[in-house]
Chain A
Amino acid sequence: MISTAFIGSDPTAAVELFEEPDFYFRTPVPDLLSEPEIRALLAPDAVLCRSGGRPVGLIWLPLAQDHGYAGHRVLHARFARRVPADAAAGTVGSVLCTLAGRRPVHRVTHTVYGGDRRGVALAEAAGFELEGALPVLVAVGGAWHDLRLYAKVAAGA
């Protein structure tokens, strides 16, 4: 059972998540970041997911900045290795539903590094569709990967 809560003003509990070298939450090099860099990635309205009291994942859904539509969001989501994809996807879906209940949400975009199998599994399990890929864009884990662009559009949008 995964519980969710806003990070708020103290993101300390979330820092340990970045020790996994593939905890790609807004960074391709999570385990190389210093603590101040990690804290800079964690907005107060990001959601910390816990299981058994331990942090297991992060979800953040800011507005898409580049075009200013009120109903467009960007999904940043990552879970620890021990969390199965369907549990992670279920949590993402639950948070999205909560958001949609409070704000209009027409479209959510999500990017995944091409070689990131867990990220691809999460995106697909959460119902995101692959819209395209930018080739050879990101250096992750010792190789170049494309950047996969996923999106989910609200029904009727």
Chain B
Amino acid sequence: MPELRGYRTRDAGLLATAWQGPLLMATGGAGPFAPPPPEPDGHWCRVLVVPDAGVAVLDRIDHVHRTARLSVATLDAPVVDLLAAALVVAGERLRLRQVIGVLPTGDEQQTAAAALGFVAEVTIPEHVWRDGNAVPATIWRAGLDDT
């Protein structure tokens, strides 16, 4: 399993090129007109990195409700491996109870997400802009701790 570590300024290039917005799983790099990368602020947002491979961003972190949004992006490394590593960090190191993530409805990655324990919760119409259209997206949830 890849080892995630905290963000360093030298990771800025990787973050900028991998980040495709707050999607649960994204791979292949951002391309032009990519959304701005997240900024780790030590409170609401934590950026974790596997150098030269990808990033895992936990944002909208709330330690009262023990929840966060998780987004994982790689260039060409297997994104599902990074997602699995991020789930371990979220549950065991940050003691979150669940994470949620967004995938366009019907996205090819949803099978992999389900295999890691994610459950489709809500589909929001027009939630993602893709290929010139607003398409629906599903919020997936992974429970990490039932207590």
Query: Do A and B touch (CB < 8 Å)?
Result: yes
A residues apposed to B, CB below 8 Å: 15, 18-19, 29-38, 40, 139, 141-142
With both chains docked as a complex, state the minimum distance between the C-beta of A118 and any C-beta of chain B, in angstroms. 18
From the candidates B42, B48, B94, B95, name the one contacting A36 in the complex (CB within 8 A). B42
Stretch at the interface among B6-14, B27-35, B115-123: B6-14
Asked if B92 and A34 make an inter-chain contact with CB atoms under 8 angstroms apart, the answer reads: no
A34 to B47, CA, bound (A): 7
- Tell me if B130 counts as interface (CB < 8 A to partner A): no
From the candidates B6, B89, B93, B95, name the one contacting A38 in the complex (CB within 8 A). B6
For A37, the chain B residues whose CB sits under 8 A away are: 6, 40, 42
Asked if A19 and B5 make an inter-chain contact with CB atoms under 8 angstroms apart, the answer reads: yes
For B7, the chain A residues whose CB sits under 8 A away are: 34-35
Residue among B4, B8, B9 with the highest chain A CB neighbour number at 10 A: B8
Asked if B94 and A33 make an inter-chain contact with CB atoms under 8 angstroms apart, the answer reads: no
For A139, the chain B residues whose CB sits under 8 A away are: 93-95
For A18, the chain B residues whose CB sits under 8 A away are: 6
A-B contact pairs, 21 of them (CB 8 A): A15-B8, A18-B6, A19-B5, A29-B94, A31-B5, A32-B6, A32-B46, A32-B89, A32-B93, A32-B94, A33-B42, A34-B40, A34-B42, A34-B47, A35-B6, A35-B8, A37-B40, A38-B6, A139-B94, A139-B95, A141-B93
A30 to B48, CA, bound (A): 12
Closest to B43 in A: A37
**8 nearest A-B pairs in the assembled complex, by CB-CB distance:** A142-B92, A34-B40, A34-B7, A33-B6, A139-B95, A37-B42, A35-B8, A31-B5
Mark out the residues of chain B between 39 and 68 whose CB falls within 8 Å of any chain A CB in the assembled complex. Answer: 40, 42, 46-48
With both chains docked as a complex, state the minimum distance between the C-beta of A24 and any C-beta of chain B, in angstroms. 12
Closest to B47 in A: A34
Asked if A32 and B48 make an inter-chain contact with CB atoms under 8 angstroms apart, the answer reads: yes
A142 to B88, CA, bound (A): 9
